[in-house]
Amino acid sequence: MSDSPWIRWYPGDYFAKTGRLTRSEHGAYCLLLFHYYCTGPLPNNDADLAALAKCSKREWAKVKPRIWCYFSELNGTLHNTRCDDEIEHRKRVITQKKEAGSIGGKSKHTLKHMIQHPPQHTPQHTGKQPEPEPNSKALDLPESGTEPPEQPQVKGILSKMLETQVNASPPEPDPRTLGMTTTEIAEAVASGKLGPETNPATP
């Protein structure tokens, strides 16, 4: 059996070129075409052609003149242009189907592999260099839970500020406010009767 047993068959095209053939001629011609599609060009030999057309020598002698015009001799074999075109078309279709099946098989295999082995997420490269992590030893930072050591200069400043606050004498009260209540002092300041410009002690 042929590896490619199917063919495209267009009855309209066939009858358009063979409308004058008799029933016997149609039968012999179709048998030759079917053999051509299965094995390729026909042998240029009357005995073989008669056998392929299922004709006796006498019957073949009658049908040969009417169907011989559909073939041409090339390299010792009989060729039919339409048969050659259809055979090439069939080869292209078979090749395309094989390639499509191979791609489909690879796609299924790839999908199965992705399901069984999902890709790991990798961070995208932004082009920026990562910032170095701070080194606690390089910065001489204190360990967690401990207070930072005081520097000598800080100690001196704190000591002077504390000494100034201790030795500072409280401000002397304004003699004009003696005997006045807080409310009266506030009213005097608001009315302008009591202020820095009216305080004789202000230099």
Over residues 34-59, the pLDDT tens digits come to: 999 999 999 999 999 999 999 999 99
pLDDT range class, residue 1, cuts 50, 70, 90:
very low
Distance CA 199, CA 196 (A): 5
Distance CA 84, CA 41 (A): 8
Amino acid at 20: R
What integer pLDDT is reported at residue 115 of this predicted model?
72
Domain map of the chain by residue range? 11-86
**Average pLDDT value over all residues in the chain:** 77
pTM above 0.75, yes or no: no
**pLDDT at 201 > cutoff 50:** no
Name the E strands within 1-143: 42-43, 72-74, 77-79
pLDDT above 70 coverage of the chain, percent: 57
Distance CA 66, CA 52 (A): 16
Q: What CATH class is the domain 11-86? A: mainly alpha
**Separation in Å, CA 2 to CA 40, 85, 86, 148:** 11, 18, 15, 94
Q: Convert the pLDDT of each residue in 132-178 to its tens digit.
A: 655 545 445 555 555 555 555 556 666 666 666 656 555 666 777 77
Distance CA 50, CA 32 (A): 9
